[in-house]
A and B are shown apart, each in its own frame.
Chain A
Amino acid sequence: SQQGEEDPQALSIQEGENATMNCSYKTSINNLQWYRQNSGRGLVHLILIRSNEREKHSGRLRVTLDTSKKSSSLLITASRAADTASYFCATEKGSQGNLIFGKGTKLSVKP
């Protein structure tokens, strides 16, 4: 079963706008990660936020975590056409680094 569920499933914006994607999960977590996947390629790790953190920044990325609501959001500011990709949240199952991924949000940034 999916631990993380992203919404929206698809998002289309203009270059320069901000993009916000949300992720909900079901069980308690130690951390939550966001990954990016360009079409037909492997996933690339973007950012990890720990359960005791509420917000984290990395360049144009801002991630928030609300453990009381079991939700996280990924904000990409000043989007670029190169940000076009699918974005997945992932939580850890067990202690062996097994990641449970959501179905992803497909972001399209139009120039």
Chain B
Amino acid sequence: SQTIHQWPATLVQPVGSPLSLECTVEGTSNPNLYWYRQAAGRGLQLLFYSVGIGQISSEVPQNLSASRPQDRQFILSSKKLLLSDSGFYLCAWGRQGVTEAFFGQGTRLTVV
């Protein structure tokens, strides 16, 4: 069976510090991978998606970047965090050609 791991669950970082959130998927190959952000009480905003190793598409301009160094690994990064980067970050995967998405448990990021 397939599983998705996302860590850490919570993170408190000072403004200006770097960020690295990691997501890995097990039990499948060549998945589509996604990073979403959810502001408090709001829906999800798609930040990045990837259809293969090294292939990253950004949906919105922002202070964040994403990388996919391996087939089942997706990393969300920032060189210098802003207060506005606070939120709930969710990694998800989906099969090629299938729209259902499977989500990780999320990372609550608080930038102070």
Say if A and B assemble together. yes
Does any Cβ of A come within 8 Å of B49's Cβ? yes
**Chain B: CB-nearest residue to A45:** B100
Does any Cβ of A come within 8 Å of B99's Cβ? yes
The reply to whether B105 and A100 form a contact with Cβ atoms under 8 Å apart is no
Question: What is the predominant secondary structure among interface residues of chain A facing chain B?
Answer: strand
Question: Number of residues in B with C-beta < 8 Å to the partner?
Answer: 29
* Contact residue among A31, A40, A103 (Cβ-Cβ distance under 8 Å from B106): A40
The reply to whether A41 and B105 form a contact with Cβ atoms under 8 Å apart is yes
Question: Number of residues in A with C-beta < 8 Å to the partner?
Answer: 25
| Chain A residues with CB below 8 A from B97, complex form | 97
**How long is the Cα–Cα vector from A40 to B89 in the complex, in angstroms?**
10
| Chain A residues with CB below 8 A from B42, complex form | 103-104
* Contact residue among B43, B51, B59, B90 (Cβ-Cβ distance under 8 Å from A103): B43
| Chain B residues with CB below 8 A from A2, complex form | 43
**How long is the Cα–Cα vector from A60 to B43 in the complex, in angstroms?**
24
**Chain A: CB-nearest residue to B96:** A97
The reply to whether A97 and B32 form a contact with Cβ atoms under 8 Å apart is yes
| Chain A residues with CB below 8 A from B104, complex form | 42
Does any Cβ of A come within 8 Å of B64's Cβ? no
Interface mask (A36-67 → B, CB under 8 Å = 1, otherwise 0): 00001111110010000000000000000000
